[in-house]
Amino acid sequence: MMADTYSSLPNWKYFLRRYGVLTGLGLVVLMTTLYFYFRDPQITEAVLASTVRYSTPLVLGALCGLLGERAGVINIGIEGQMLMSAFVGFLVTAWTKSLWLGVVGGVLTGALMGLLLAFMSVTLKLDQIIGGTVINIIAIGLTGYFYQVGLAIDGKLKPIPLGPLANLPLVGKVFFDNPPITYAAIVLVFVVQYVLFYTKWGLRTRAVGEHPRAADTVGVDVYFMRYANVVLGGAIAGLAGAFLTLEAVGSFERVMTNGRGFIALAVMLFGKYTPLGAWGAALFFGLTSAIQTQVQFAGVDIPHQFIGMIPYVMTILVLAGFVGRTRVPAADGAPYEKE
Partner 1 sequence: MSTGSVDPAVSKRSKGFLIKIWHAINIPLAAVVLALLIGAIILLVSGANPIQAYVALFRGAFGSMTALGRTLEKATPLVFSGLAVAFAFKAGLFNIGAQGQLLFGAMIAAAIGFGIDGLPSIIHVPLALLGGALAGALYGAIPGALKVYTGAHEVITTIMLNYIAINITDYLASGPLKDTSSGNVLARTPEIMASAKIPSIANIPLGFVLAILMSILIWWILSRTTLGFDIRTVGLNPNAARYAGIKVAFTIILTMVLSGALAGMGGAVETQGVVGRFQPGFNIGLGFDGITIALLGKTSPLGVIPAAILIGAMKAGASQMQFDAGVAKEIVDVIQALMLFFVAADVIVRKVFRIRAAGEEEKITLSTGWGQQ
What residues line the site for partner 1 (CB under 8 A)?
74, 76, 120, 124-131, 133-134, 137-138, 140-142, 144-147, 258-259, 262-263, 265-266, 269, 303, 305-306, 308-309, 312-313, 315-316, 319-321, 323-324, 326, 328, 332-334
State the minimum distance, in angstroms, from the CB of residue 301 to partner 1.
12
d(CA 323, CA 72) in angstroms, rounded, equals 17
State the minimum distance, in angstroms, from the CB of residue 331 to partner 1.
11
Single-letter residue type at 74? I
State the minimum distance, in angstroms, from the CB of residue 36 to partner 1.
28
Nearer to partner 1, 44 or 85 (CB): 85
| Number of Cβ atoms within 10 Å of the Cβ of 18 | 14
State the minimum distance, in angstroms, from the CB of residue 289 to partner 1.
14
State the minimum distance, in angstroms, from the CB of residue 184 to partner 1.
26
Q: Where are the alpha helices (DSSP H) in 40-179?
A: 41-70, 78-96, 99-118, 128-146, 171-175
Single-letter residue type at 217? T
Residues 237, 86: contact at Cβ < 8 Å? no
Element of type H or E holding 160: strand 160-161
Residues 246, 98: contact at Cβ < 8 Å? no
Q: Which long-range contacts (CB under 8 A, 24 or more apart) does 291-297 make?
A: 291/47, 293/50, 294/43, 294/46, 294/47
Nearer to partner 1, 36 or 312 (CB): 312
| Number of Cβ atoms within 10 Å of the Cβ of 255 | 12
State the minimum distance, in angstroms, from the CB of residue 24 to partner 1.
25
Nearer to partner 1, 181 or 265 (CB): 265
Please list the residues that pair with 160 across neighbouring strands: 178
Nearer to partner 1, 6 or 306 (CB): 306
State the minimum distance, in angstroms, from the CB of residue 310 to partner 1.
10
Beta pairing, strands 177-178 & 160-161? antiparallel
CA atoms within 13 A on the CB side of 176: 11
Nearer to partner 1, 132 or 179 (CB): 132
Q: How far, in whole angstroms, is CA 43 from its chain's centroid?
A: 26
Nearer to partner 1, 4 or 337 (CB): 337
Please list the residues that pair with 108 across neighbouring strands: none
In 9-75, DSSP assigns E strands to: none
CA distance readout (Å), 207 to 75, 157, 233, 239, 335: 18, 38, 17, 27, 14
Nearer to partner 1, 130 or 152 (CB): 130
Q: What is residue 157's DSSP assignment?
A: P
State the minimum distance, in angstroms, from the CB of residue 128 to partner 1.
5
d(CA 52, CA 91) in angstroms, rounded, equals 26
Q: Integer distance in angstroms from the first to the last C-alpha of the chain?
A: 33
State the minimum distance, in angstroms, from the CB of residue 147 to partner 1.
8
Residues 268, 66: contact at Cβ < 8 Å? yes
Nearer to partner 1, 115 or 328 (CB): 328
Nearer to partner 1, 24 or 321 (CB): 321
